[in-house]
Amino acid sequence: MTKDELVAKVSESTGIKKVDLQKALDVLINTIIATIKTGEKVNITGLGIFKVKDKKARLARNPKTGESIQVPAKRAPKFLPSKNFKEAVK
């Protein structure tokens, strides 16, 4: 499902204009991203937790040449689904 399809489906269910839902969804996404950038978690009950995971520097191997490569430390977004979300998907 694409973002536009999601907006259309929610619009049908709620009667809210697609334009208004599109703006709200954009604000929601941008707010989650901005909050994650600061290192804070975003917990949406029934859905899950968005957070940042710090990954340590490590030594990796190039599979073609077998050469060792140093991979630098980095930050990566992580999503932890809620228990209800996991059970609904089963």
Average pLDDT over residues 10-16: 94
**Cβ atoms 22, 30 nearer than 8 A:** no
pLDDT digits (tens, 9 = 90+) for 46-83: 999 999 999 999 999 999 998 999 999 999 999 999 99
Q: Which sequence spans correspond to the domains of the chain?
A: 3-89
List helix spans (H) across the chain. 3-14, 18-37, 83-89
83: left (phi over 0), alpha (psi -120 to 50) or beta: alpha
Instruction: Give the architecture-level CATH label for domain 3-89.
Output: Irregular (4.10)
Average pLDDT over residues 14-28: 95
